[in-house]
Amino acid sequence: METSNHTVFENTIGITIWKPIVPIEEDRSPPGKCLGARRTTSGGPHLENPKTYRKAIWSEQDPAARVLGFIIHTAVHRRFSDMEQKRFMRKVFQSLWNGLARTRQAAFGRIAQLLGATEITEALWEDLEAALIQADVGVRVTMELMDRLRGRVRQEGITRADFLRTLLKQELRALLGDPPPLNLGRRPLEVVLVVGVNGSGKTTTVAKLAYQFQQQGRRVLLAAADTFRAAAGEQLEIWAERAGVPCISGQPGADPGAVLFDTLQAARARGYDLVLADTAGRLHTKYNLMQELKKVRNVAAKMIPDAPHEVWLVLDAITGQNALPQAREFHQAVGVTGLILTKLDGTAKGGAIFAIAREVGLPVRFIGVGEGLEDLLPFDADAFIEGLFENASGTSSGT
């Protein structure tokens, strides 16, 4: 199966993703066509320019291609051998499978069992509706799904439940949509604000993001702008040291905007090309928190053209749909551009991602599936849905 720019790639644990087969030449072709390698005279990809890979990965419109691009670029930057690259690839996707284990076993495993080789009955419809709500997909989204599935079953003349499972996966995929390209990899210095409430895993996520971007060849500097939470700066400094990334922090209670100002000045002077800013997650009132976040955003905008270039909201997946009000409030205050769902490995409420994406209308950019630096993964909707229904061997749950 091939298209003009992609071919199906099967990795060692059975997941199908898109792999580009027609590389582009650096700075000569429009972004989004592939991962940024250029052809050699032998027709194979040329892997000597990490900057080209980096720019193309983060402008790539196909989420699955971004995931594969992340793997390939990291392998190139670390100078992996072919065997090491395969091991790294398997580790990335195995992390996804392991991280979704609780959701798959507790909720979507039940759905996979329902949609086996049986006839579609009214009782099956009722059980499927209950299972989706139990998976924290949400009542409203579940009702929409059920209406669409019933309509397609009637229209397409489907009578077997195993074919209904295929329709369900398609409809769940449609809920997540296709996110726009990341607004990164195009400027000499870029700024990402990371926002979220205390306890969501925000500070550790900032360090994991720094590690990911550094592995792709970017020069990253952290801003510890959460100056109101006790020991927040010290926590980020510890994680920054683990990630091998420098961090600038202020005194407890200092002005967060001043910390970001100092960090951006240092980034310019020292040649860093990406600043990741940890921000306050709690003040005495919600109003004060949002006002402080607006101030931090304004500091970035005044110092760097078009900054912040991304604003990512960290949500704790364990809270399920309770994260919806947070997403709305932060989006209204600071213009969130993407979501990061953490702690998916510790919850059976992974289905909430569908409700959050549907209700808030923001793309999911990363998911956290563990405590390690490499356990923050670029989000790929296709791999995520397969991970809900499939075992690591590639067989359906419950079969």
Residue of 46 and 192 predicted with greater confidence: 192
Q: Please tell me the predicted confidence (pLDDT) of residue 6.
A: 31
- Least confidently predicted of 48-62, 223-237, 274-288: 48-62
pLDDT for the residue 96: 57
Q: What is the mean pLDDT of residues 368-394?
A: 78
Portion of the chain with pLDDT greater than 70, in percent: 69
* Mean per-residue pLDDT, 323-347: 88
pLDDT higher than 90, residue 77: no
Q: Is the pLDDT of residue 353 over 70?
A: yes
Residue 365 has pLDDT above 90, yes or no: yes
What's the confidence (pLDDT) of residue 146?
96
CA 1 remoteness from chain centre: 27
Structure token pair of residue 111: 């759905």
Token representation of residue 345: 């490995």
pLDDT at position 364, please? Answer: 92
Whole-number Å distance between alpha carbons of 289 and 271: 31
- Higher pLDDT: 44 or 363? It is 363
Give the pLDDT band of residue 83 (cuts 50, 70, 90): low
Predicted pLDDT of residue 102: 62
* Rounded alpha-carbon distances, angstroms, from residue 142 to 84, 102, 171, 300, 366: 42, 20, 11, 40, 24
Question: Which range has the worst mean pLDDT, 74-78, 158-162, 201-205, 213-217?
Answer: 74-78
Report residue 100's pLDDT band, with 50, 70 and 90 as the boundaries.
low
- In this prediction, residues 9-28 reach a mean pLDDT of 33
Q: Tell me what pLDDT residue 86 has.
A: 53
14-18: which pairs have CB atoms within 8 A and are 24 or more residues apart?
14/390, 14/392, 14/393, 14/394, 15/93, 15/383, 15/386, 15/387, 15/390, 15/394, 16/382, 16/386, 17/64, 17/65, 17/67, 17/68, 17/380, 17/382, 17/383, 18/62, 18/64, 18/65, 18/68
Query: Hey, which bits of 262-346 come out as E strands?
Result: 274-279, 310-316, 338-342
- The pairing of beta strand 6-10 with beta strand 16-20: antiparallel
**pLDDT digits over 239-258, tens only?**
999 999 999 998 888 899 99
In the block, residue with structure tokens 């709690």: 282
Identify the residue with better confidence: 11 or 224. Answer: 224
Nearest to 137 by CA among 327, 387, 358, 351: 351
**DSSP H helical segments within 306-351, as ranges?**
323-334
**What tens digit of pLDDT does each residue of 284-331 get?**
567 788 889 999 999 999 999 999 999 999 999 888 888 888 888 899
75, 53 contact by CB (below 8 A): no
Mean local confidence (pLDDT), 112-117: 82
Confidence check: pLDDT of 397 > 60: no
In the structure, what pLDDT confidence band is assigned to residue 134 with cuts at 50, 70 and 90? Answer: confident
Question: What's residue 81's pLDDT?
Answer: 53
Phi, psi of 376 (to 5 degrees): -110, 115
Model pTM score: 0.73
Q: Looking at the predicted structure, is the pLDDT value of residue 283 above 70? A: no
When the pLDDT of each residue in the chain is averaged and rounded to a whole number, the result is 76
Q: What are phi and psi of 191, to 5 degrees?
A: -125, 130
pLDDT at residue 229 is higher than 50: yes
Indicate if the pLDDT at residue 156 is higher than 50: yes
**pLDDT at 128 exceeding the cut of 90:** yes
Q: Among the listed ranges 2-11, 297-306, 335-344, which one has the minimum average pLDDT value?
A: 2-11
Q: Per mean pLDDT, which range of 186-200, 299-313, 348-362, 384-398 is the poorest?
A: 384-398
